[in-house]
Amino acid sequence: MKNDDFSYYLTSFLKKYLPGEKGVSENTILSYRDTFILFLNFLKDSKNISAENITLEIITKDTIVDFLDWIENQRQCSITTRNIRLAAIHSFFRYLQYQNPENLQEWQRILSIPVKKTEKKTINYLNLEGIKLLLEMPDQSLKSGQRNLAILSLMYDTAARVQEIIDLTPSSIRFDKPYTVKLIGKGKKARIVPLMEPTANILRKYMEANGLLKDYANEYPLFFNSRKEKLTRAGVNYILKKYSKMARDKAAALIPDQISCHSLRHSKAMHLLQAGVNLVYIRDILGHSSVQVTEVYARADSRQKREAIEKAYTDVSPEEKPQWQDNDDLLIWLKKFDQYINLNYVK
């Protein structure tokens, strides 16, 4: 199996281990697959090694480092992209440690390759006025406008990831009070998120107009295109870009120049935090693995920081006129002290 050991283990990794044992999402598997497609292209173009001739023996730490440099320098990819590709490679070689321990030392050398530090970007989010303006943009007299309003409202109200919205079916929505939606997040982990009544009403109107409240439609895509196919990430992103441009034309200060579907998720998290909702509850709504991940919103919330600082400043701030200015004895002493300093300085 020496000549085809790489293809054997890679196929097993992508088709069995990731979906079966790790239970990772389809999108993650596709991202990992794309990484190894790039790796094969790199070996062919830069090392003159065709796919059928690749063996585990020729893959070393130096080869992987050259591949990562190729991604940055030849393909002009960002450090973030480079780190994503490295994460896929690390996952594969962690798997190989147990499946092919004969080369354990080399696998561990590959696993020692560090991720590169990147500049931390500020969280991009809209304030409440910006969200309200954005949701006013879809034309509700059109079926497409009703759908798009439902998408944007649901994405904001539940702080859902775009893939979670795309994967929804009518059976995911519960219209019995309290209104809820069942989201399937990373690692196929399900969570129940509450729906506010205005969002539930928008969603019900859209579903009624499209026959999605019927029992036979339970497993249809909740949001679909003109061909009745579920929307893609690009499709949802196009919808957001369309209406954000319209909103920006009306009030540029309320809509950031750079906006993505994740901006709505960030916006909801920030608004919950500013409303005083405990970080633990925000973590559960967002589907984060730990509250430490959610703390990024607390660190980024400049309004809360400012209010906390202002409150502290009010508590400790001195009176406008310092008390010592009204102390005649102290003023006399200071004047004498000044004379004493001058006399000693002259000596």
Domain CATH number, residue 223: 1.10.443.10
Q: Is position 329 within any domain?
A: no
Upstream peptide bond of 178 is cis (omega within 30 degrees of 0) = yes
Pairing, β 190-194 against β 173-174: unpaired
One domain for residues 245 and 286? yes
Mean pLDDT for back-to-back runs of 10 residues, the chain (347 residues): 80 93 86 95 93 92 96 92 95 95 94 86 81 94 95 93 93 92 85 91 95 94 92 94 95 90 88 81 78 60 50 47 54 58 52
Q: Please tell me the distance from the alpha carbon of residue 208 to that of residue 230, in angstroms, as a whole number.
A: 18
* Residue 183 DSSP SS3: strand
Q: What is the pLDDT of residue 308?
A: 47
One domain for residues 191 and 267? yes
Q: Which domain holds residue 145?
A: 128-304
Domain CATH number, residue 8: 1.10.150
Q: Is position 255 within any domain?
A: yes
Residues catalogued as catalytic: 161, 186, 262, 265, 288, 297
Among residues 269, 248, 250, which one has the least CA distance to residue 259? Answer: 248
Q: Domain tally for the chain?
A: 2
Backbone angles phi, psi at 183, to 5 degrees: -105, 140
